[in-house]
Amino acid sequence: MLELVTPDGETTGSAEKLSAHAFPGTLHRAFSVFLLAPDGRLLLQRRALTKYHWAGVWSNSCCGHPHPGEDPAEAAARRTAEELGVRPDGLRPAGTVLYRYGDEASGLVEHEYNHLFVGALTGTPAPDPAEVHETALVDAAGLADLRARAPFSAWFPAVLDAALPEIRRTAPGGW
């Protein structure tokens, strides 16, 4: 179940995940996590090839949806541990962003009020293969190179741009 919200982030109810993502998309709460290694590189994930939407595309470290009534920061930490096998350290809010993107391959829609978080990567990721196909640690130049040659999630530019000020505060020099 997902938490439905207004454009201001006020809860209006809940809906089953697939129905909220069905065209034209129902606005719901989400989160995106950006984890930085001690050397300042950003952890990216390539979504599993078997995902029912946005399969095989690169995106931020972790993204997902809080359960109805669940604190977005707690959901972000929980889901990061589930997907990547590591708990983020010092997860900090980095703003919110509202977007709507359709996935032509599946016909599903991401219409999200997305809470952004930046934190430290501690430990070595051990991704759940049902969720994550592969991971990469990149600096700003490496990210630009990867974006030039591989598909990324439609929401990645929006969430990266919104989180960049907090990323720069956390890992200055190159971001």
Q: Which residues are catalytic?
A: 63, 112
Alpha-carbon distance 169 to 173, whole Å?
9
Residues 105 and 47 sit within 8 Å (Cβ to Cβ): no
Radius of gyration of the chain (CA): 15
Number of H helices, E strands in the chain: 4, 9
Peptide bond into 38 cis (omega under 30): no
Give, in order, the Cα–Cα distances in Å from 76 to each of 43, 71, 174. Answer: 15, 9, 26
Residues 6+ apart with CB under 8 A from 51: 131
Amino acid at 26: T
Report residue 89 as tokens. Answer: 């350290």
Which pair of tokens denotes residue 124?
Answer: 């070595």
| Spatial separation of the C-alpha atoms in residues 38 and 25, rounded to whole Å | 38
